[in-house]
Amino acid sequence: MSTPNIQLWEVFIRSRNGLAHKHVGSLHAADAALAMQAARDIYTRRGEGLSIWIVPSDTIVASDPAEKDMMFDPALSKIYRHPTFYDVPDEVGHM
Amino acid sequence: MAAASISVTESSLVLYALRRADDALILGHRLSEWCGHAPMMEEDMALANMGLDLIGQARELYSYAAKVEDNGNDEDRYAYLRDVRQYRNLLLVEQPNGDFARTIVRQFFYSAFADAYWRAMMGSEDATLAAIAAKSEKESAYHIRHSSEWVIRLGDGTPESHRRAQDAVDDLWAFTGELFHTDDSDAGLIADRLVIDPESLRAGWTDTVTGILRTATLACPGKSWMQKGGRSGNHSEHLGHLLSELQSLQRSFPGATW
């Protein structure tokens, strides 16, 4: 059944203390209180979370897929940005 | 070949546990009937989750009743092999789902009681009942929150949602008096502080319900004649139909497992 005119929300769950909230999916709800309850009912049924964030989907500013090449390709050739690019002398030990 | 009904030796404590277990099982079953049919997928999950909470409570209470009765019965036999007159649940919980508003109002009336009830029962002198209460209270706290939010939105929503919610309140009101039912069987348990006197919850229940109904712009029915009978096995015509579905497999194929 379709749910016209009902706000879409993005759901973020933090699974453990010390971890970041992670996007898990979306849902429809008429307002924030119902969205929070729906997030709890849909996304934490198997003990997945200790904390929930919900965000109205239309407040998210997303990058344009058509601009993917411009946005992300330039990084591919800069392998020196990865820490593994550098040889660390044995004398340094663990960094 | 249909499986015959069991007989149950209803001591006060067994009867008490069965009454609460039956409330939870029958309301849980009613909620399960929404699975795949709710107005939106999010609410489908919410209703099923609440149903599973309730069926979990029923299982613990049936298991405790079986242990106290010590007569070879178990949770499955209580659920599947008692006839309608042996069921002891409130008339409220067996009422048909109707529309979404009716299901929500039924849940709201029950949860407003159950939440306060389980919180009070955490102080029971019966360690098992106190432990079941501690687990159930967390569940009922969510049930009252969820159903309250919906009562407010339906009552204070569109003219149609308001009408449907008000009809549900008016029709189900007569079943709320039984929430506070006690009889001679309960009196000894109350005196021994194994269970609470539900009368002590009446003022709080009334405050909760009238407050939410007011916020929802719904009229609260006044004092009126109250239905009763479920606690002694005198049910509305709806419970037999519910049980025929709930019990059909075990009645038709006794002891079937999978």
Phi, psi of A11 (to 5 degrees): -115, 135
Which pLDDT belongs to residue A5? 77
- pLDDT surpassing 80 at residue B189: yes
The full DSSP string for B63-77 is HHHHHHH-SS--HHH
Assess if residue B228 is contained within a domain.
Answer: yes
Q: Is the separation of the CB atoms in A51 and A13 below 8 Å?
A: yes
| pLDDT, tens digit (0-9, with 9 covering 90-100), for B198-214 | 999 999 999 999 999 99
* Tokens coding B225: 């004649």
Assess if residue B1 is contained within a domain.
Answer: no
Assess if residue B248 is contained within a domain.
Answer: yes
Which pLDDT belongs to residue A86? 87
Among B41, B49, B149, the residue with its CB nearest the CB of A34 is B149
The CATH number of residue B40's host domain is 1.20.1260.10
**Cα of A38 to nearest chain B Cα, Å:** 6
Average pLDDT value for chain A: 91
CA geometry: angle B67, B72, B74, nearest 5 deg: 60
- Under 8 Å CB pairs connecting chains A and B tally to 32
ipTM: 0.84
- pLDDT surpassing 80 at residue A1: no
Stretch B124-128: mean pLDDT, rounded? 98
Residue ranges of domains in chain A, CATH in brackets: 8-86 (3.10.20.520)
Assess if residue B139 is contained within a domain.
Answer: yes
Assess if residue B4 is contained within a domain.
Answer: no
| pLDDT, tens digit (0-9, with 9 covering 90-100), for B23-35 | 999 999 999 999 9
| pLDDT, tens digit (0-9, with 9 covering 90-100), for B61-116 | 999 999 999 999 999 999 999 999 999 999 999 999 999 999 999 999 999 999 99
Tell whether A28 is within 8 A of chain B (Cβ): yes
pTM of the model: 0.92
Stretch B143-147: mean pLDDT, rounded? 98
Stretch B136-142: mean pLDDT, rounded? 97
Residue range of the domain that includes B228: 12-252
Which pLDDT belongs to residue A2? 53
Among A1, A37, A40, the residue with its CB nearest the CB of B40 is A1
Stretch B126-134: mean pLDDT, rounded? 98
Q: Which residues pair with A54 in a beta bridge?
A: A11
AA letter at B75: E
Among B39, B42, B153, the residue with its CB nearest the CB of A38 is B42
Which pLDDT belongs to residue B167? 98
- Tally of structural domains, chain B: 1
CA distance B178 to B230: 8
Which pLDDT belongs to residue B70? 97
- pLDDT surpassing 60 at residue B152: yes
The full DSSP string for B113-156 is HHHHHHHHHTT-SSHHHHHHHHHHHHHHHHHHHHHHHHHHHHHT
Assess if residue B2 is contained within a domain.
Answer: no
Stretch A15-42: mean pLDDT, rounded? 94
